[in-house]
Amino acid sequence: MAHGSHIHIIEDESDIYRLIQFNLENSGYSVSISVTGEKGLESIRSAPPDLVLLDLMLPGIHGLDICRILKSDSKTNKIPIIILSALGEESDIVKGLELGADDYMTKPFSPKVLVARAKAVLRRGERSPDDSETIKIHEFNIKHRERIVEVARAEVELTHTEYKLLYLLATHPGWVYTRNQIINEVHGDDYPVTDRSVDVQVVGLRKKLGGSGKHIKTIRGVGYRFEPEK
């Protein structure tokens, strides 16, 4: 899957897209580039790629609008998107993730990290989690059918909400979840939960997990990410 996967970059800065292109092609991907959103949409519709790397600040259509357009069209809504953003665009990152982008990178980024993220996002499409399986990650054993969480073989008592929160994050290692996404996934759309109460839940969960709580990373200004295994 990784080799030969086609990645489309929408980015107007040539230094950046050349660097990304060089590194992705060296890793066996085929790469195409658009320097405006208008051209990007045209290109993606005529030759749908396996992944889109999307800059936000573009001449013409803004990256967030491109994200919205791609995610609302059944022909393109399955194509994963990684947002490329500048520092200080956290609120745009949050909007992008909530529009359905899969991940983001803040410039300047290491090309190696970008290639690893691209690989991870492309891999996601391949596995479908089974509801009854036991999730084993880091020192966690999560027996979903019984709702039992063991950390280094010791059972940890969690509330219903804490369990759902941990299960959501631990079954999607490496994914960034915004607070709104957590609220929607954990409680359903109409449940009146605030951003702050998500933070409170995370604090409570981390406390119960002891040292293993460190695997739940706070992504400042954006949300939370469960650390993938190395």
In the complex, the residues that contact Ca ion under the rule CB under 5 A are 12, 55, 57
Residue 84 beta carbon to Ca ion: minimum distance, rounded to whole angstroms: 8
Residue 184 beta carbon to Ca ion: minimum distance, rounded to whole angstroms: 30
Angle at 203 between CA 161 and CA 145, to 5 degrees: 30
Nearest to 12 by CA among 45, 70, 71, 54: 54
Nearer to Ca ion, 82 or 151 (CB): 82
Residue 12 beta carbon to Ca ion: minimum distance, rounded to whole angstroms: 5
| Total H helices, total E strands in the chain | 8, 12
Q: What's the CA gap between 217 and 227, in Å, rounded?
A: 7
Distances (CA, A) of 223 to 76, 103, 105: 26, 12, 14
Nearer to Ca ion, 89 or 162 (CB): 89
Distances (CA, A) of 154 to 21, 43, 145, 157: 46, 52, 18, 10
Q: What's the CA gap between 200 and 190, in Å, rounded?
A: 19
Q: Which residue has 């929160």 as its token pair? A: 165
Nearer to Ca ion, 61 or 148 (CB): 61
Distances (CA, A) of 163 to 79, 129, 208: 30, 17, 11
Which residue sits closest to Ca ion, CB atoms considered?
57
Nearer to Ca ion, 106 or 197 (CB): 106
Nearer to Ca ion, 36 or 161 (CB): 36
Residue 44 beta carbon to Ca ion: minimum distance, rounded to whole angstroms: 18
Q: What's the CA gap between 115 and 121, in Å, rounded?
A: 10
CB 37 within 8 Å of CB 60: yes
Residue 134 beta carbon to Ca ion: minimum distance, rounded to whole angstroms: 44
Q: Is 81 helix (H, G, I), strand (E, B) or coil?
A: strand
Nearer to Ca ion, 16 or 44 (CB): 16
Residue 27 beta carbon to Ca ion: minimum distance, rounded to whole angstroms: 23
Residue 221 beta carbon to Ca ion: minimum distance, rounded to whole angstroms: 20
Nearer to Ca ion, 12 or 199 (CB): 12
